[in-house]
């Protein structure tokens, strides 16, 4: 199973490189089901892997000028604060079990996995649906709706902290709709935000005394980086308009499977 897990690391990075987002949603299921890791630990490891992989992926966007730094500085701080606080204070304070339902205890790991699976379903929907017209062009002026940006940043930071996913499927629409960024700039800027908040969020686990297997993290992250560099090179020849919905259906099936599998353990 571990061999499949390491192959999964490459696939995760490959997907990120090919379609510019969504691949990190695979990290936690790979860690939990193929490496038999506890869900709470898996979300911590995922933050590091997603952060480092996104940072590497953002380099090519920097070279192409696809990052709007002012927008990253506006969106980043509330998200970074939320994810750090979530990992350092909220997650360690969650009771285990979370609650009892019909005489059955719902564990902290179960709650996190079900929440993660619901996030996968939402991410799948965003990848499957066809984008509507009216996206900003590169000539449009970038504007900021600060109250909405603050709320979006806090929400994405909270979700990232709880489930260890980058949240690009939430950030990119926000950058397009709330900051009026064209799609290419939104993707590049999103990677910078994801990298920063994920890596800083991971330091919240270090502050909380989480034991980290650095050797495993190094190997898994290296394979994911190989995947994202390969995917980025392949993306110049492969249309992501076709790949994205196909991957969305795969994520949807995975999300439904996780929900069914975890809820069946309660019966």
Encode pLDDT of 136-166 as tens digits: 555 556 677 778 878 888 888 888 888 777 6
Helix (H) or strand (E) holding 104, with range, is strand 104-106
Confidence of residue 131 (pLDDT cuts 50, 70, 90): low
As a whole-number percent, the residues of the chain with pLDDT over 90 amount to: 12
Which of 54, 44, 49 is CA-nearest to residue 88? 44
Residue 186: predicted pLDDT: 81
pLDDT at residue 125 above 70? yes
Residue 4: predicted pLDDT: 92
Encode pLDDT of 169-228 as tens digits: 778 777 877 777 887 788 788 888 888 888 888 888 787 667 889 999 999 999 999 988
CA distance 156 to 170: 7
β-strand partners of 100: 105
Domain residue spans in the chain? 2-264
- DSSP state for residue 135 in the 8-state scheme: P
Query: What average pLDDT does the chain have?
Result: 82
What's CA 33's distance to the chain center, in Å? 18
CA distance 209 to 98: 21
């Amino acid at each position: 199973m571990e061999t499949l897990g390491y192959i999964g690391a490459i696939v995760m990075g490959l997907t990120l490189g090919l379609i510019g987002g969504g691949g990190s949603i695979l990290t936690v299921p790979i860690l939990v089901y193929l490496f038999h890791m506890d869900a709470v630990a898996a979300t911590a490891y995922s933050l590091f892997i997603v952060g480092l992989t996104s940072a590497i992926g953002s380099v090519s966007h920097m070279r192409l000028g696809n990052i709007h730094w002012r927008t990253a500085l506006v969106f980043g701080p509330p998200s970074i604060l939320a994810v750090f606080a979530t990992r350092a204070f909220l997650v360690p304070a969650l009771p285990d079990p979370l609650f009892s339902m019909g005489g059955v205890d719902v564990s902290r790991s179960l709650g996190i996995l079900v929440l993660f699976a619901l996030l996968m379903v939402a991410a799948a929907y965003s990848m499957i649906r066809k984008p509507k017209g009216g996206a900003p062009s590169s000539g449009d002026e970038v504007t900021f709706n600060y109250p909405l940006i603050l709320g979006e940043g806090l929400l994405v930071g909270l979700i990232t902290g709880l489930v260890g996913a980058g949240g690009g499927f939430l950030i990119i629409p926000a950058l397009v709709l709330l900051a009026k960024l064209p799609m290419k700039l939104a993707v590049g800027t999103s990677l910078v935000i994801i990298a920063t908040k994920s890596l800083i969020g991971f330091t919240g686990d270090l502050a909380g005394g989480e034991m980290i297997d650095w050797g495993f993290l190094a190997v898994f992250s290296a394979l994911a980086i190989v995947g994202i560099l390969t995917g980025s090179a392949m993306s110049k020849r492969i249309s992501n308009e076709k790949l994205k919905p196909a991957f969305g259906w795969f994520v949807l099936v995975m999300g439904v499977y996780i929900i069914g599998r975890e809820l069946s353990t309660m019966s």
